[in-house]
Amino acid sequence: MRRRCLVSAALLLGFYLAASLAAGWWFLPPMLLGVPTPSRTEPQRESLRTRLRQPGGRWESFRVAGGQGASLEVWHLKRANSKGVVLFLHGFGDDAWGTLPRAADLPDWDAVGFTFRGRDRDPSRPCTLGAWERADVAAVVRALEARGTERSRIVLAGWSMGAGTALLALADLEAGGGPLGGALLECPFADLRAAASDHIRLQAGFLEPLTRPAQAVAVRRTGALAGFDPDQVSAIEAARGLRTPIALVTGDADRETPLTGVRRIAAHHPDLTVVPGAGHCQAGNRLPGGWGAWARQRLEAWGATPPAPVAARPSTGGPGGFPGGGSGRK
């Protein structure tokens, strides 16, 4: 009887490990790499641009080579008497036109947006959760500099994957130059493994721990398929030593990018606003005065004391948080 139980247990364990390997190798990677982008027609895109354009404003578009040479279609809304440029970065499964409407909250700033990896025009390109998207952001920032915008007048605004990617890109940009004017980040992911685990937890619920062997295989397989090292995709590590002023906002009911991970980022950049009861990407809309009021408060403070240019990102250094302390709960 005892031998039969041991054999049955061994068979079950073998089946579980085989199923985990199969799921991690074949099933989970397409969920991460092949997330669909919104289907939008050209008239729909033009309608969005028309709604955002104000009297005296005009749209320009140009192309930039991003990570792995991906062709990025960049849209720049130029406004009269602009204070600077806000580069809007969308989240997982979204595109530029899902995030650019936020530009209406900052009418005194130019707005720039693009879809990561150029996936709005070429959906066959994989989404890499920041691994190659960080190079997209850096390429667009450098293109804006080449077109006449000083780095200190460029601000990143990102949500979810876009927020985490902003931190990754800032680490790359500061390694070869000075800080940007600031970064307004809502619910950034902690790192690639956490992002995958949190995403699967939403689907599997309390069974998520059973999927962890499959997750480990899937993360490695995803990196191999898309040509990146998963260990290098960590917003927490990227946040260390950044000089760019950074403000964070999130909700304490966010299950996709939980508060615990955002607090680890806030350990380096303590301007963290936590909105009670807000879920994923809901915090900004629930702030007093909305996301725009929260953003303008930071932009005004950062504009009053712009960051001093530096030759390169230091190897060590203090956090680049909100001057004068944060707002909201810590």
Using CA atoms, how far apart are residues 285 and 281, in angstroms rounded to an integer? 8
Q: At what angle do helices 133-146 and 161-175 cross, to 10 degrees?
A: 60
Alpha-helix residue ranges (DSSP H) falling in the chain? 2-22, 28-33, 42-52, 96-99, 133-146, 161-175, 192-204, 212-226, 235-239, 259-266, 290-304
Domain ranges for the chain, please list them. Answer: 41-304
CATH number corresponding to 41-304? 3.40.50.1820
pLDDT value of residue 27: 78
Low-confidence ranges of the chain (pLDDT < 70): 1, 6-21, 23-24, 26, 201-202, 204-205, 207-208, 304-330
Strand partners, 185: 158, 248
Provide the 10 A C-beta neighbour count for residue 105: 19
pLDDT value of residue 30: 81
pLDDT value of residue 306: 40
pLDDT value of residue 20: 64
pLDDT value of residue 58: 95
pLDDT value of residue 21: 62
pLDDT value of residue 29: 77
Using CA atoms, how far apart are residues 187 and 286, in angstroms rounded to an integer? 14
pLDDT value of residue 196: 80
- CA distances, 261 to each of 68, 72, 191, 243, 251 (Å): 29, 30, 9, 20, 12
Instruction: Count Cα atoms within 13 angstroms, Cβ side, for 214.
Output: 24
3-state secondary structure 161-180: HHHHHHHHHHHHHHHCCCCC
The residue with tokens 């990018």 is: 257
Using CA atoms, how far apart are residues 151 and 231, in angstroms rounded to an integer? 28
